[in-house]
Structure 1
Amino acid sequence: MAESVSPSEEQLPTVIPVFPLLGALLLPRGEMPLNIFETRYVQMVRDAMGSDRIIGMVQPRSTPQSIAGGQGNDGAGLYEIGCAGRICSFAETDDGRFLISLKGVSRFRIEEELSSLTPYRQMKVDYGDFEEDRAIPARRAGVDRDALLGSLTRFLEQRGLNAEWSSIEKAPDELLVNSLAMICPFEPAEKQALLEARSLTERTQTMITLMEFSLADPTIDEDDDRPPQMPN
């Protein structure tokens, strides 16, 4: 059995608040900065800070209703699989916003939505399918880095983007793959496919396939997406 680096399934809460956010992808050991400004989610963060600091990130299904929703697309149906994150940094602004970072802990499967008096949604979740999320990753995990970086180079050129190649080349396999999955400009359904990949190898191949599909699309031009940067 792989050595654990994160809380065991038994140590993780089975009822968690969720922040439904279209296009947001959090993966285990990845970090996601969030600017929390709506009253219900300010309350959610405040409550999480007073307990286990766990918040579940999950995408709403892409419907006209979800796209027209508020910061968290509250009324939308949700994908079944999301990722729990622990608040690892927190700051409050003068105008009452919370600036936080979530560090991914483990993916989960939603079992049911609970009736709650809180203004935010709460779910009963199960982590049992994702034991590998809480294990220490190997520095080299059999990822085809040459194929991935080749596709990435062409993908960024297609969009007029740059990358911090020195950081990318030094990154361990999991950090490389998961960071690129989180920050590259993929569509919400594509990000969900990356989240649900059963292994790092499968996630890598899925990302390569998505990039190659994009490269074959003549309608995609340069845009203003920010360049991918590797976290420290």
Structure 2
Amino acid sequence: MPFELPDRRTLPLFPLNTVLFPGASLPLQIFEERYKRLLQDCLDSDERFGIVLIKSGDEVGQPAIPHPIGTVAHITQVNEMRGDRFLIAVTGERRFKINTITQHRPYITADVSILPDVDSEEARPESESILRQLNEYLSLITGLQGGWTSEVRTSRDPAALSYFIAETLLIDLSEKQQLLEKPSTVSRLEAEAEVLRRDIDQLRERVAVELRAKFSRQ
């Protein structure tokens, strides 16, 4: 039976310098005592925790201030390493919004609301168009690196596709966070289409420059 997330709940938080999207996988190395405690508590109760991008502060040391929207993480693998460290793998499930931070020690917990994927079906026409852009984007990147790529095979579900694109784009963390925070699938896909248009234009120019340089040497 699928794990059901209540609409509102208390969730342990793991602030990081990364953005996790629903459906994406992420490896994490756990070495701080507070996060080893968080890991053990989650394993003991089959609990999830939340990954949030740090707004200010650091991953290590004093509790960081997180962005208000993050993603629920499900632990899928745990490996104990030398030096009392753990290497774990997590998968993103649903987005959430922090309502109130409820504790800071030993690790941060918050009262959160699970966010729905709004207007996913209405975004289907947009998703077909953006998939063509994504294929060109990836083809240009791999071509510049001297490789090649086949056509992307991913979910045609608009919400899942929007998260896959957000994870795939080579953009900075602030832009990724903005995509995570988009209130609907349509608005996320529209923003991604703008990023793809911008970056495809830049990549085409780089390809043209490299070709001109190559032929000038012949």
Q: Specify every segment of 5 or more residues in structure 2 that has no aligned partner in the other structure, as ranges.
A: 207-218
Aligned length: 199
SS of residue matched to 1:50:
helix
- The one-character-per-residue Cα deviations of 1:185-221 (angstroms, maximum 9, x if unpaired) are 3211101111112333432332232244345669xx8
Q: CA deviation at 1:59?
A: 0.7
- Find the aligned partners of 2:28 and 2:88 in 1 and give their Cα distance: 5
- The one-character-per-residue Cα deviations of 1:128-151 (angstroms, maximum 9, x if unpaired) are xx2338xxx88x943021123223
1:230 corresponds to which residue?
Answer: none
Q: CA deviation at 1:82?
A: 0.7
Give matches, 1:112-191, under 5 Å.
112-118=100-106, 120-127=107-114, 130-132=115-117, 141-142=124-125, 143=127, 144=129, 145-154=131-140, 156=141, 160=145, 164-166=149-151, 168=152, 170-174=153-157, 175-191=160-176
Q: CA deviation at 1:31?
A: 1.9
Q: CA deviation at 1:109?
A: 0.7
* CA distance 1:59–1:157, shift in 2 (3 Å): same
- Find the aligned partners of 2:71 and 2:25 in 1 and give their Cα distance: 11
| Corresponding letter in the other structure for 1:19 | F
1:100 corresponds to which residue?
Answer: 88
* CA distance 1:193–1:31, shift in 2 (3 Å): same
Runs of 4+ in 1 over 6 A off after TM superposition: none
* CA distance 1:172–1:29, shift in 2 (3 Å): same
Of 4, 22, 42, which aligns to 1:7?
A: 4
Q: Please tell me whether the aligned partners of residues 31 and 86 of structure 2 are also in contact (alpha carbons under 8 angstroms).
A: yes
Q: Quick check: 1:111 aligned with 2:99?
A: yes
Of 64, 78, 91, which aligns to 1:90?
A: 78
TM-score scaled by length of structure 2: 0.74
Q: Please tell me whether the aligned partners of residues 148 and 204 of structure 1 are also in contact (alpha carbons under 8 angstroms).
A: no
1:228 corresponds to which residue?
Answer: none
Which structure's residues are more often strand, by fraction?
2
- Find the aligned partners of 1:163 and 1:5 in 2 and give their Cα distance: 38
Q: Please tell me whether the aligned partners of residues 158 and 215 of structure 1 are also in contact (alpha carbons under 8 angstroms).
A: no
| Corresponding letter in the other structure for 1:17 | P
Identity %: 23
Q: Please tell me whether the aligned partners of residues 152 and 211 of structure 1 are also in contact (alpha carbons under 8 angstroms).
A: no
* CA distance 1:152–1:204, shift in 2 (3 Å): farther
- Find the aligned partners of 1:165 and 1:203 in 2 and give their Cα distance: 25
- Find the aligned partners of 2:50 and 2:12 in 1 and give their Cα distance: 6
* CA distance 1:148–1:6, shift in 2 (3 Å): farther
- The one-character-per-residue Cα deviations of 1:33-76 (angstroms, maximum 9, x if unpaired) are 21222222122111111113311011111x5xx3xx244x7543
2:213 corresponds to which residue?
Answer: none
Which structure's residues are more often helix, by fraction?
2
1:41 corresponds to which residue?
Answer: 35
1:20 corresponds to which residue?
Answer: 15
- The one-character-per-residue Cα deviations of 1:154-207 (angstroms, maximum 9, x if unpaired) are 4x25973857535x2x22235554234224332111011111123334323322
SS of residue matched to 1:25:
coil
